[in-house]
Amino acid sequence: MDVVIQIIASGLTLGAMYAVATVGLSLVYGSLNMLNMAHGALLTLGGYMCYAAITHLGFHPIFGLVAAALVCALAGLAIYVFATLPLLRAENFETNIFIATIGIGAVIESLMLKSFGPYPIPQPLAVSGSVVIGNVHIPLQNIMILLTALVAMAAVALLLQKTRAGRAIRATSMSRDAAQLMGVRVGQIYAQVLALSGGLAAISGVMISSIATLTPVMGGDPMLKAFIICIVAGLGNVYGAVLAAIVLGLLEAATQYVLGVRWSFATLLLLVILVLIWRPYGLFGRQQVVRL
């Protein structure tokens, strides 16, 4: 029983972190058909910015998190202005933006490496102490991560469902042309979505680095997992992505316990391949009509 509680606790934490990372990716893919390979680098940037704001500038931890989110939102905006906007006008947008964001991600990660060095740094935004459930000690940090993720998710859901901007985002992802004809400024929506996704990436980066450590390459692994989650859920399906993130987080915690850390990623991938053979568009993905 204790083992089950342990697995659920760490699985939910993992799932919550992945969910925040995934929602950003999924939003961007859903509205722009753009796979943002720089997302992992934005996670790293967020983690380091939070660290820098707290230790070097002496910010209160909460403001450190906000500052990190703002910097990453700006970075997302910069990606829109300098890469997405010019590429949208040319053909082969999907391939080109994919390659361009690989380049951007490499630049951001190398800049972090240059400015903060290759050695792991602990994330100052952390709480100590733990709660005891049964015989299991659950660190307060995990609970804080879970709460932060819940707040972030709720905010995104409110934004998407209740506000004018959110309705425009949803409309754009359903049909870009129709939204444009109805007077939605698609360019503005794209900029908003990329900034929002940058901010979410920062939050997720801070959370991930608070239970692991800050390193310049920390973004790669969560990004790959976020992508896998997106794929399982169907690219662009935001709510499916949240569900899939939590399920995969629990699954990862369970495989880590049963088979060892080494096999957790391999098992995850095997599962994904099976899902994709069974349903090539993901569990909740709509089958898109192939345009000839």
Partner 1 sequence: MTPIRRDILIGLICIAVALVVPFVFGGRYVVTQATVFFVWAIVVVQWNLVLGVGGIFSLAQMALFAIGGYATAMLGFYLKVPMLVAIPLGGLIAVVAGMIIGLACLRLRGPYVALLTLAIAQVMYVLIVNDTGCFTNVSGCMPLFGGVRGIGQFGDLGFRSLFPSKWYIAHYYVALGLLALAFVFSVAVIRGPLGLAFKALRDSPGYALSRGISRFKYQLWIFAVSAFFTGIAGGFYAVHFRVIGPTVFSFSLLLFLIAMIVVGGMGSIWGPLLGAALLMLADEGMKEFSDYRNIGLGLLITLFVIAWPRGLAGWFDRLRALRTRTPS
Q: In the complex, what is the shortest distance from the CB of residue 173 to partner 1, in angstroms, rounded to a whole number?
A: 15
Contact letters for partner 1, residues 1-40 (x by CB under 8 A): ----------------------------x-----x-----
Judged by CB under 8 A, does residue 289 bind partner 1? Answer: no
Shortest Å, Cβ 85 to partner 1 = 10
Quick one: which of 57, 60, 114, 182 contacts partner 1 (CB under 8 A)?
114
**DSSP states of 106-121:** HHHHHHHHHHH-SS-B
How many CB atoms within 10 Å of residue 66?
17
Q: Which residues within the stretch 222-241 sit at the binding site for partner 1 (CB under 8 A)? A: 224, 227-228, 231, 235
Between 9 and 28, name the residue whose CB sits nearer to partner 1.
28
* Minimum gap (Å) between residue 15 Cβ and partner 1: 18
133 vs 266, beta carbon nearer partner 1? 266
User: CB of 35: closest distance to partner 1 in angstroms?
Assistant: 5
Per rule CB under 8 A, is residue 150 in the interface with partner 1?
A: no
Site for partner 1 (CB under 8 A): which residue of 11, 24, 47, 105? 105
DSSP H or E run through 139 = strand 136-139
Q: Which residue, 96 or 213, has its beta carbon nearer to partner 1?
A: 96
C-alpha torsion angle, residues 246, 250, 251, 252 (rounded to 10): 100
What does DSSP assign to residue 258?
Answer: H
Query: How many CA atoms lie less than 13 Å away from 201 in the CB half-sphere?
Result: 39
Does position 64 interact with partner 1 (CB under 8 A)? The reply is: no
Task: Confirm if 198 and 76 have CB atoms less than 8 A apart.
Answer: yes
Q: Is 117 a binder of partner 1 (CB under 8 A)?
A: no
> Residue 284 CB, nearest distance to partner 1 (Å)?
14
Q: Is 280 in the site for partner 1 (CB under 8 A)?
A: yes
Our CB check for partner 1 shows the closer of 110 and 163 to be: 110
* CB-based contact 42:194 (threshold 8 Å): no
Closest CA to 21 of 189, 149, 157, 210: 149
Evaluate the CA torsion angle 237, 19, 41, 61 in order and state its sign: positive
Phi, psi of 132 (to 5 degrees): -105, 120
Look at residues 270, 162, 210 and name the one whose alpha carbon lies nearest to residue 48: 210
In angstroms, what is the minimal distance from the CB of 23 to partner 1?
17
Around 59, how many Cα atoms within 13 Å sit in the side-chain half-sphere?
Answer: 17
Does 106 interact with partner 1 (rule: CB under 8 A)?
yes
- Residue 64 CA to residue 35 CA, distance in Å, equals 28
Interface residues toward partner 1, by CB under 8 A: 29, 35, 82-83, 86-87, 90, 92, 94-96, 98-100, 102-107, 109-111, 113-114, 220, 224, 227-228, 231, 235, 261-262, 265-266, 269, 272-273, 276-277, 280, 288, 292
